[in-house]
Amino acid sequence: MAEIEIGLGKDGRRGYSLDEVLIVPSRRTRDADDVDVTWQIDAYQFPIPVIAAALDGVTSPTTAVEMSRLGGAGALHLEGLWCRHEDPTALLERIAAHDLRDGADDGGGADRDGVALLREAYAAPVRPDLIEQRIAEIREAGGTVCVAVSPSTTESLLATIKKAEPDLLLIQGTVTSAEHVSDGTHEPLDLKHLVRRLEVPVIVGGCSSYQAALHLMRTGAAGILVGVGTGRTSTTRRVLGVGSPQATAIADARAARMRHLDETGVYVHVIADGGMTTGGDIAKAIVCGADAVVLGAPLAAADEAPAGGAVWSMTAPHPRLPRGRLRRAKRLGSLEQMLLGPSDRADGRTNIIGGLRKAMAVSGYATLKELQKAELMVTAPPSVRPGAQR
C-alpha cells in the first residue's frame, strides 16, 4: 500500500474503517436460507460466528448459556463482577441507574463517565471459588464455557482456570503482544510458553498490525482478536493515540494468517473484535479476512443484558488510567431477536445474523470461507457521504 507523506521525513499508510468499504456483489445471487454461517474453531462448531464480548454489561452466566442456545458463545470475564461478588445484581442495578447526562460533570465533579462508580464496584478482589462456580453454572446449563482473562492476571489465575476446565479461553488486553519487554520489576507473561501448557483452545488479542498478528499466531494460539479501541465505550484511541481502522487491521491480520499458514500449515482464526453493529458490518469484516466476530455494545441492547442496557469496557475502572466510558443502549428486544430476528427496525440492529445471511445471498456466496474471497470497494467516509447514518 502506498505511503502518504504526513510531513517531511514522516510517511504513513492510509487505513480504512468498515464504514469506508462495501462488498461488491458477484455474478450470482442465492436464497438467504441456503447460505451457511457456521464457524468451527478446534473441536467446537458454532451455528453463528458470534462471541458475546467479555463485558459485564453484556455477558453473565445466564446470557452465556443463552448465547450457546442461539448458536454462538458468550465470553464471561473472570475478573468481572460475577467473579468478585456472590450476587452482583444490586451493583448492576446501580450502574444501570447512573446519571449519564451530558455535562453532568461540568464544574461539579459529578461522575458522568461512571469511572468512580465502576471503581467502587470492582474494588472487591477476584475470588477463585466464584470462578469455579460460574464455570460450573454455565456447563451444567448446557452452555459452551468461554471465559476471558487479562494478560496481567493470567498466571495468577492459571491454576484455577485449569482446574475449572473451560472450553475456550480468551487472553484479552487492550494491546496484547507475544513479546513484552520488562525492566525486571515483574515477570512478563510468556504467551508462547503459556499457550502450549494449556489443553484448551486459546484466543489471544487484541492487535491491529501485521507483525503483531503474526507474532501472536506463532504462540500457538487457535485464534487472535483483532481490534484496538474500536468499541463504542472505549476511549483508548483518544487517550493513548494507538490503533488502526478496523477494515485495514483485519486485512493485515489476514495477510499474517496466510504467511503463518505457508510457514507452518496451521490455520489460525482471525476474530474481529469491535466496531460492528449490523449484519452488514459482520459481512464486511469477514470479507476483509475475519472468521468470526465479537459483539459488545450491540448486544447490551438485548432484554437479557445483565445491566439493563448499560455497557462499559473492562478498562473503564482502571485505577490509574481509565480508558472507557459507561454508556447506555436502548433496549431493542430479546437476545434472540437481536441475533436471529424477526426485526421490526430498518437500521439492521436487530436480526443481525439475518442481515449477514442476506448480505451473503445477494452477493452470491454460500459459506463464510467463500465470502472471504469477495471483492471490496472503497467509498467515502460516512462523515462526508451524503445520507450516511450510523
Question: 96 in a domain, yes or no?
Answer: yes
Question: 254 in a domain, yes or no?
Answer: yes
| CB count in 10 Å sphere of residue 337 | 18
Closest CA to 208 of 237, 187, 182: 237
Q: How many domains does the chain have?
A: 1
- Reading phi first (left if > 0) and then psi (alpha if -120 to 50, else beta), residue 9 is in left
> Contact at 8 Å (CB) between 70 and 336?
yes
Q: Is it the case that residue 128 has pLDDT exceeding 70?
A: yes
pLDDT of residue 342: 95
pLDDT band at 388 (very low <50, low <70, confident <90, very high): low
pLDDT digits (tens, 9 = 90+) for 195-244: 888 889 999 988 999 999 999 999 999 999 999 878 788 888 888 888 89
Q: Is it the case that residue 293 has pLDDT exceeding 70?
A: yes
In this predicted structure, which of 20-34, 101-115, 150-164, 329-343 has the lowest mean pLDDT? 101-115
Measured CA to CA, the distance from residue 177 to residue 184 in angstroms comes to 17
Q: Is it the case that residue 116 has pLDDT exceeding 70?
A: yes
pLDDT of residue 178: 57
pLDDT of residue 1: 59
Mean pLDDT estimate for the chain: 90
pLDDT of residue 174: 67
More confident residue, 156 or 101: 156
pLDDT of residue 105: 41
Question: 264 in a domain, yes or no?
Answer: yes
Question: 93 in a domain, yes or no?
Answer: yes
Mean pLDDT score, 44-69: 97
pLDDT of residue 102: 46
pLDDT of residue 30: 93
Phi, psi of 336 (to 5 degrees): -65, -45
Instruction: State the pairing for strand pair 44-46/375-378.
Output: unpaired
Dihedral sign for Cα atoms in the order 317, 98, 298, 130 = positive
Which structural domain, as residue segments, surrounds residue 81? Answer: 26-101+111-180+189-378
Question: 8 in a domain, yes or no?
Answer: no
Question: 16 in a domain, yes or no?
Answer: no
Mean pLDDT score, 117-124: 94
Residue with cell 487491521: 249
Question: 19 in a domain, yes or no?
Answer: no
Question: 162 in a domain, yes or no?
Answer: yes
pLDDT of residue 325: 87
Mean pLDDT score, 116-142: 96
> Contact at 8 Å (CB) between 323 and 335?
no
The share of the chain scoring above pLDDT 70, in percent, equals: 90
pLDDT digits (tens, 9 = 90+) for 8-56: 889 999 999 999 999 999 999 999 999 999 999 999 999 999 999 999 9
CATH number, residue 231: 3.20.20.70
More confident residue, 278 or 153: 278
The share of the chain scoring above pLDDT 90, in percent, equals: 72
pLDDT digits (tens, 9 = 90+) for 184-195: 555 666 788 888
In this predicted structure, which of 225-239, 246-260, 282-296 has the lowest mean pLDDT? 225-239
